[in-house]
Every structure is written in C-alpha cells, then in structure tokens.
Amino acid sequence: MNVLPSIVKPFFCMSCRTLSAIFGLSALLGAACENSSPQNSPGNTANASTNINAAYGTPVIDGSGADTVWENTEWHLIDQPWQGPLILPSDFQGRYKVAWDENSLYFLVEIDDDTLSENTTANKEAPHLADALLLFLDEDASGGERTNYNAFAYALSLDGHIVDGMPDSAWHVFDDHAWIRCIRRDNTHTWEIALRVYDGKQYRTEGENIPKRLKAGKKMGFAIAYGDRDGGPQWENIIGNLPLKGQDPETPWKNAGIYLTLNLLR
C-alpha cells in the first residue's frame, strides 16, 4: 500500500491524476495534478536516432521543466507510426528529453493531443482503453524476447496508474516505480517523470526489489510511445520514437532487441 506524505494531497482532474514526491532513498509516493503553463522554452528538436543521450542532473519533479538539466538537453521526437491510420499534427505531436542521476532516470515529455480520453471503466488495469504514455526499458541493453522482467514496458495512464503489459498478456501494476507530475494547458500536457531502474533478471514479483544505482557510461535499451484514443473502444493510434518498418505493432512489447540505445553521459 502506498503511503502519502502529509504535504501532498491526491486529487483528480479531467486531464490526469499524477504522482509526485521529493525523490530520494526514502521518498514516498504522492499524487497531484494541475492546469497550468509549462515554463521551459521549446529548444531544439533532434531527429530520430538509434542513440539517445541522457544528460546528468536532477530535476525537480514539478511538471514545469524549468531546470538547468533540461535547458541543456535536446528534444527528441515521438513521431513514428506504430499502429493506426495516418495521424496529423493537429491531432497529435509529441517530444521528450531524458536525464539521469545515480538514483533515477528522468523524462520530460510534451504531448499535444486534441482529444484526451480517460479510462472510465471499472478495469483500471487496461491502459489501452484510454490515452497513455508508454515507456520501454531494457536495463542492461541485452535485447531479445521479453520474458518475465528482462525488459519493462510501462504504460502511464491519465488516471495515475502505472502498469506493464507482460508477455503473459496480463497487466501488472507498478505504481511505485515512478514519480510523476503532469501539467495541462489546453491540448498540451507536460509530463515530468522520475523512474527507478531495476535489474529485471533479478526482479521478484513478491518481496522487496532494490533499484539499480546508475553510473556514467551505462547503456540501456529504450523506447517511448503514446497510445492515442480519440473516442473508439481502444487506441486508434500508437506513435513512438523509433520506426517499426512494417513490424507487428505489438513488437515493442515482445522484443526488446528493437529498442534504441540510451547512453548515460556525465
């Protein structure tokens, strides 16, 4: 059971429910959501690449992106169609930045989506029923078929849940793996995320799991995408940061070998 710090009170809004906390070894899970305006400037946007560099630094997880580490980090696009018909910029645009420190990976993600859809069903562990941000991480860049937890495929839904679509076709809840703050302004919502990294080969479904300590020079397999639902029964589109080149849209959930390489720089 998650314990909320007394200084953080959870509540829900039409755009998202998010989780936030002061990050550290003893940080606890919190939740908050706001309608506000991102403070960071757009900066430069890099083209798709097989290598993504993560800058060293610790941002404040407040959804603003107003941190020195983000100012010195380039944007990368989420613009590769994985599933669904051609999507127009007026319907969806996405971009992201990555940073790291010894405790966590950090993501700043900016999504422009003309229609935000939340999961209103009783099954909150089915992220494909609503808009969701998708993070794929292969901790040791070993690639290969996803079995057990050798690579994680997180879905961050607008109602605040973090789940992983495992090879057994079940969605497993991992709400304590990330701290998130989401700020929405009109059709733009900015996610700021602190993600703990686990050794998937040693990960246990029961008992305590210790996050990895990160260091410069480490390489990980990585992909990011967005599941966009505009009123249909499930995602009409999935847009990612790497080309699938005609492969099955479910390939990122099955095979970590297609992920990009995330480099931790210092």
β-pairing verdict for 51-56 and 92-100: parallel
34: tokens are 């706001």
Query: Which residues in the chain land under pLDDT 50?
Result: 1-44, 122
Residue 116: per-residue pLDDT: 63
> Alpha-carbon distance 79 to 240, whole Å?
6
Domains of the chain with bracketed CATH: 34-264 (2.60.40.1190)
Q: Which residues contact 4 (CB under 8 A, 6 or more apart)?
A: 10, 28, 29, 30, 31
pTM, two decimal places? 0.80
> Alpha-carbon distance 140 to 75, whole Å?
24
Rounded to 5°, the CA angle 43-49-54 comes to 60
152: tokens are 């994680």
Helix (H) or strand (E) holding 41: none
